[in-house]
Amino acid sequence: MAYKIAVGTSDEINVDLKFGELTELHIYEADGENYSLSEIREIDLPEQENERSENHVANCSQKGCGNGGGCGGSSGISARVLAVSDCRCIVCTKVGFQAQKQLERKAISYFDVECTIDEALGKITNYYKRINRD
């Protein structure tokens, strides 16, 4: 059964981006132990995500206010989660708590790793191959 894996990379070799740093995703199509790059997907981020408001961050007293100004707001997270909604999992160097919760609600697995893409995808496809067999 084929499935998609989203990868956070800046150099197309290593998994080297945090979930919150993603502006594009490398989407790999996997089938069994084989995988290949199927597309590079731009993430449609809200304007406030691109123009982080330092005043808002400095003055924000409400954790997770939803403003998206970099203080834990959820608009950028939601855009990133939406971008991976058709994927079985996402691979990044770090996925924060708020993003984890949104991904879990959509049954999307996440893997925090720092290695090459080939190493990460090899391990993940092997893992899914084993759990799908059981």
pLDDT at 117: 98
pLDDT tens digits for range 64-87: 444 444 444 567 999 999 999 999
**Residue 10 in contact with residue 26, Cβ under 8 Å?**
no
Displacement of CA 55 from its chain's centroid (Å): 27
Question: What is the CATH architecture of 3-133?
Answer: 2-Layer Sandwich (3.30)
- pTM here is 0.79
Quote the percentage of the chain above a pLDDT of 70: 79
